[in-house]
Amino acid sequence: MRKKEAETPVRRSSRLQPEVSSEEMLNNAEAEEQHAPILLLRSSIKAHRLLPAVMEFQPETEPTQPVLEEEPASMPTRTKKIFLQEKDRTVPGEGPERLLTPSSDWRNLRERRILKPMDSAVSKKRMLGNGQKHILWMSFCAYLLPCLLILGGASWYLWEFGTPRSLLVVPAQMHQGWSSFALLWRKWQRKEGCSSHCRFLLVESIPENLKYEREAVHYTSVYQAWMELLEGANSSIDIAAFYFSLRDMDIDVESPLSRQGKNVLEKLLELPSRGVKLSIAVNSPQKPQSDTEDLTKKGADVKYLDFQHLTGGVLHTKLWIVDKKHIYIGSANMDWRSLTQVKELGAVLYNCSCLAQDLHKIFQMYRYLGEEGVSIPHPWPTAFSADSGHTHPLHMLLNNNTAEVYISSSPFALCSGGRTSDLAAILSVIDDAEQFIYISVMDYVPRCQYCNPMRFWPAVDDRLRTAACDRRVVVRLLVSCWSHSDMSMFVFLESLSLLSQEPLGCPIEVKVFVVPANEEQKKIPFARVNHNKYMVTDRIAYIGTSNWSEDYFTKTAGIGLIINQTIATGDSILVRQELEAVFHRDWDSSYTHNLHSKMSCNTEA
């Protein structure tokens, strides 16, 4: 009796799947071979046993592929062994290895075919979604950009001006900001193109009936220089002045001596009709205002500056800028008396756009302070930063002689970045002198004249004493004596002069200059005075607009022109030599008097 064979154990996976006949499995294998040689996972042990038989139906066989049909179907172990042996001989990617490796390309293709019906609908949704996102993004940018601009503008405003005290000052400060950008732009455009090859002309006003010796030096009159500047102007004239009084409207009778002032005013009134822009910065309040009012009616742009409110002083500057290349700086006010009744001195520089560009920044500061409700910014915007200063002067040619030139300003609150204060400039000129210091000013008072209470101010006085007594530099001081002189000034001057006595013997001399006046001339108020404000040493020339007391350097607006020139070319004369000649002419004239304790300032002609 035959022994009953043990049944093959059936795996759990085969019990869960329906029985598949050999014939059906072969048909399924042929169907899958039409797509790709993908090896399906065996569904049961019977499928695994039939695998060699399925492989017989492959249409082509690689040369290195083992012939499985020669092996008995009942020897799967040997078949596996032969397969492994042959596998070592095959080229990677070919033969059974290629057959048994699933094709990822087919899987991707199959997924695309399944999803193909959905592509059109999905693409439409994606297009709609992308369009909505684009619209949302554009809307976001449209709102974001103005917000960023407003935020940036507000940040810049706070950085430049700080928190505004009142909304009234905001428009003026914004206008200043725009002007700053415009100044920076013009500075960038003209940085390489400005001219530093200049012609220097010393100008002065000699009062009527003031006669010098025939051989004494004489220079071009302020009146002639002003008229030439007015007639030659092509595009613009900028003027900063203490006041305007070019007509004799402030005296009871009409004076023929005011003819020159009226001529200047007539030329100013003609400028707008010629296409020349006239801009003015003038101290306020002033009386009368008829000149500036008439100029405004003709098209001039006039700004009134209340310096009493801003600094506690006045706008005492006297400057002209013509066509942004010619300049005037000096002691003469916009007053008919400054042309015929007052002794004045100044300088005109022609074709000097580098220096004019720097001076124009000071003028722009005055114009800004003329806006309603503004205050002095601290610090000033960088657009107002100085192009010249004591440590970085402009290198130029003045009358074909090399020179170092810069412009100073007062008070310190009106000194932008890099600007040397007027007081610092004066002290540096005194300290630089090696042989002599000659000074001609209307007032020399070493105290604060308009302070309450008055106080002693030895800043300049100490430097002069040090120069004379320590370095043995010759110091000569020529001051004015007229009906409005502060008599305490002569006491201070006497104390300075006493240093020349033995045993000290410091080389210091002091004299006073008196402009004579007849009875008719005495009727003219604020006239018949030496109004000069300059200093010259063996190395430097200084021409300013301020009197020498503390108030003028700490509260009052003024400027100075400093020229360092020591080497002459050929037979040319240096600027400081011209100024030195003027001082010697006045010092040795019959209009100077020795200082004494009981000065009367008698101006009898």
Nearest-Å Rg of the Cα atoms of the chain is 49
Which helix H or strand E contains 223, and what residues bound it? helix 222-232
Three-state secondary structure call for residue 234: coil
Q: How many CB atoms lie within 10 A of CB 286?
A: 17
Q: Please spell the DSSP secondary structure of 305-332, one letter per residue.
A: E-HHHHTSS-B---EEEETTTEEEEES-
Name the catalytic one among 294, 306, 323, 432. Answer: 323
Active site residue 326: no
Active site residue 134: no
Residue 179, CA atoms < 13 Å, CB-side half-sphere: 20
Rounded CA-CA distance 271/237 in Å is: 9
Rounded CA-CA distance 271/507 in Å is: 51
DSSP 400: T
Contact 300, 273 (CB under 8 A): no
Active site residue 125: no
Contact 212, 585 (CB under 8 A): yes
Among the listed residues 482, 476, 479, the one whose alpha carbon sits nearest the alpha carbon of residue 497: 476
Active site residue 484: no
Name the catalytic one among 360, 533, 551, 555. Answer: 533
Rounded CA-CA distance 572/399 in Å is: 8
Q: What are phi and psi of 56, to 5 degrees?
A: -65, -25
End-to-end CA gap in the chain: 173
Structure tokens at 346: 């100044």
Three-state secondary structure call for residue 56: coil
Contact 12, 43 (CB under 8 A): no
Between helix 290-297 and helix 259-270 the angle, nearest 10°, is: 30
Rounded CA-CA distance 410/24 in Å is: 111
With 0-12 CB in 10 A as exposed, 13-18 as middle and 19+ as buried, what is 200? buried
Contact 242, 556 (CB under 8 A): no
Name the catalytic one among 238, 316, 461, 511. Answer: 316
Rounded CA-CA distance 21/520 in Å is: 146
Strand partners, 87: none
Q: Please spell the DSSP secondary structure of 490-533, one letter per residue.
A: HHHHHHHHGGGSTTT---EEEEEE---B-HHHHTSTT-SSB--E
Rounded CA-CA distance 293/560 in Å is: 29
> Would you call the peptide bond into 453 cis, given omega within 30 degrees of 0 as the criterion?
yes
Name the catalytic one among 531, 551, 555, 586. Answer: 531
Q: How far is CA 375 from the centre of its chain?
A: 19
Active site residue 533: yes
Rounded CA-CA distance 404/502 in Å is: 39
Residue 97, CA atoms < 13 Å, CB-side half-sphere: 12
Active site residue 378: no
Instruction: Please list the active-site residues.
Output: 316, 318, 323, 531, 533, 538
